[in-house]
Chain A
Amino acid sequence: MSTTTAAPQVTETTKSVDFKTIIDIKDMDLYYGTYHALKKVNLTIPEKAVTAFIGPSGCGKSTLLRTLNRMNDMIPNTKIEGLVDIAGTDIYSNEVDVETLRKKVGMVFQQANPFPKSIYDNVAYGPRLHGIKNKAQLDEIVEQSLKQAALWNEVKDFLKRSAFSLSGGQQQRLCIARALAVNPEILLMDEATSALDPISTLKIEELTQELKNKYTIVMVTHNMHQAARISDQTVFFLNGEVVEFDQTDKLFSNPSDKRTEDYITGRFG
């Protein structure tokens, strides 16, 4: 028979097989004081792909994202058990330098948070912090990072202007450029488009498709259609547990778990 519907990918596997794993989480529990926020999480995240975390508020998706560059360290009484391995390193071992980790694992937040500095200095901030002083080298990094963040053409003539002179969508891309300037391997995006207008959102969505050729992207989103549009894998969380992890096409066309189906079709949550 012939149909006019788009062919969903029919896969037997539940884990991605074409990619190399970069993040490997094994039996991870996280507690905020006595609150058990993440329960026995097991997850392998593939390199150079977009992985989306979805789930209702309070399901643990942002908490998990923040464990990947140890942002939770700043929250008192946080306890983590189990293994979070990134590119072969247990990131919670005592030898790990958190600053080095955060260079490797960059993050972009819901609200664009440029520094009160010029556009140039925002992007050059990280490289300078890591010891790069050569002007020509910094210029090169700033240009490349802004190009990768699809912002260069809009700002190349105003690099000395304050970052606050940019629109919200431009500020968010500036934050992406700032994260890319230190040459990370992984880019975490926590609701990075939820404060943006539709056009800026589309720009960032397109950007992720470019960036995934070079970086691993892990994103939290409340917009399920965004997850369906731009991610390769999707993880559905509920009450601190991973309910389902699958190819995005599969998860949004034929989810295996009833709870996933109920959530994505808007029947609860």
Chain B
Amino acid sequence: MIQRRDFDLALGELSTLLEEMGRRVERALVESVESLKTQDVARAKEIIEKDAELNQLENDIMDIGSKLILTQQPVAKDLRRILVAFRIASDLERMGDLSIDIAKVVVRLEGQPLIKELVDIPRMAEIVQKMIEDSIKAYEREDVDLAYKMAKEDDLVDQLYGQILRDLYQYIVENPHNASQVMLLNFVGRYIERIADHATNIGESVVYLVTNSRPDLNS
């Protein structure tokens, strides 16, 4: 016998909003890196403007979740579903902000040709995009194995970031005038690396939701 239909519908709505946030964050990352590669300032500005919508989604999740805690007094997995929705929403919001930060770099680089063709940054972004996709998929399906598998990719992201730092350093050695651009590109690498850490957090939330235990997927 299924009871609490309205409660279940509201929990479903939380998932739908999170999935929507996930899709938007993925798009924001892909588009911001694309705009960096093509130095498309107009596109970067569009991405920056869209941030408000993502913040609104996070607020909606907070509102619905708080109301459910207040009115439904959830326990066990029901409670975890709401706690996890709060946490994932906050991770996704940060991931969105970091994508915006990449777009802001594009704006700051306006009129400056890139010192090199970007290869590793887009590669890194591609891996992280897949991590975002998988983290949301793991949440939708409550798939603990996928959460762990996704988090493993973070090692590769960290490696790539190290490599990007070393490469960029060479450009300063060659010509100190490159320093300011190198610093900005280094930031981009750092932002993408941080997005991957938040994706890993989502994986941890999935494991907590399903098992009630709190593993550290970052280690």
* Interface hit among B58-66, B71-79, B158-166: B71-79
| With contact pairs A1-B218, A5-B83 given, residues A228 and B75 touching in the complex (Cβ less than 8 Å) | yes
Q: Are B76 and A264 in touch, CB under 8 angstroms?
A: yes
CB pair A266–B76 under 8 Å, yes or no, is no
A268 touches B75 (CB 8 A): no
Is B187 among interface residues, defined by CB-CB distance under 8 A? no
Number of interface residues of B (CB under 8 A): 25
CB <8 Å contact, A252 and B1: no
Cβ of B70 under 8 Å from chain A: no
Contact between B208 and A265, CB atoms less than 8 A apart: no
Q: Is A261 an interface residue (CB 8 A)?
A: yes
The chain B residue sitting closest to A267, CB to CB, is B3
**Is A3 an interface residue, CB under 8 A from the partner?**
yes
Residues of A within 8 A of B73 (CB): 225
Q: A1-B216, A3-B214, A10-B213 in contact; A252/B204 too (CB < 8 A)?
A: no
How far is A228 from B78 in the complex, measured between Cα atoms in Å?
A: 15
Give the interface size bracket for A toward B.
Answer: 10 to 19
Set A1, A228, A265: member contacting B77, Cβ < 8 A: A265
A268-B83 contact, Cβ under 8 Å, with A3-B208, A8-B212, A255-B76: no
A265-B75 contact, Cβ under 8 Å, with A1-B214, A3-B87: yes
B102 interface residue per 8 A CB criterion: no
A254 within 8 A of B: yes
* Contact (Cβ within 8 A) A252 B75: yes
Q: At the interface, yes or no: B119 with Cβ under 8 Å from chain A?
A: no
- The interface bits of chain B over 1-45 (1 if a CB of A lies within 8 angstroms of the residue's CB, else 0) are 111100100000000000000000000000000000000000000
As a 0/1 sequence over residues 77 to 105 of chain B, the CB contacts with chain A under 8 angstroms (1 = contact) are 11110010011000000000000000000
Within 8 A of B (CB), among A230-267: 252-255, 261, 264-267
Binding site for B on A (CB under 8 A): 1, 3-5, 8, 10, 224-225, 228, 252-255, 261, 264-268
